[in-house]
Amino acid sequence: MLGELYINDKDAWSTWKARLVDDSLDNLESSAPMKSYASNNARSQDGEQVLISNPRIDKRNVILIFAITCDSIADYLTKKRSLEAELQSGLISVKVTALSMIYKLHLDQDSTMTLSSGTGLRDGKFTVRFSEKNPKDRIQL
């Protein structure tokens, strides 16, 4: 787990004992939607003209699920609050070594960091929604 995930150049495991779980890697690798094509639906012409040259991709939303390994509920809350503060710092870089990619993400404005399962003595999970403003602006490792 050490060296698998970096958030703003900090190793997530050594800093917060955090890792990505569930569908997080699939969510990072999912395709971005295409922007709408320019069109002209003028009354003076039959049908609609669609200009399909130069297609572009749109921003996309990405949901990541973090699991934090902890010794107690107090330990979980301390690590979670520290990780939340890092995620709320603005533009974040998420380096995933398994995908050989660095993603540039923003915490979604209306995102809430929700606890998706209770904390036991070992793990706690929470879900965070990000926006990737330009899916073409990634760094291949």
- What is the pLDDT, as a whole number, of residue 43? 86
70 is written with which tokens?
A: 């902890």
Q: Where are the domains of the chain?
A: 5-32+56-140
Mean pLDDT of 72-96: 91
Mean pLDDT of 23-42: 91
Tell me the CA distances in angstroms from 137 to 79, 93, 119, one per residue in order: 30, 11, 36
| Phi, psi torsion values for 76, nearest 5 degrees | -60, -50
Query: Which of 14-18, 48-52, 69-73, 108-112 is predicted most confidently?
Result: 14-18
Kindly tell me if the per-residue pLDDT of 117 is higher than 60. no
- What is the pLDDT, as a whole number, of residue 125? 84
Q: What is the pLDDT of residues 33-79, one digit of tens each?
A: 999 888 888 888 888 888 888 889 999 999 999 999 888 888 888 99
For the chain, give the number of residues: 141
What class does CATH assign to 5-32+56-140? mainly beta
Range with the poorest average pLDDT among 17-31, 67-81, 112-126: 112-126
- What is the pLDDT, as a whole number, of residue 70? 85
37 is written with which tokens?
A: 């094509």
Contact yes or no for 98/24 (Cβ under 8 A): no
- What is the pLDDT, as a whole number, of residue 110? 60
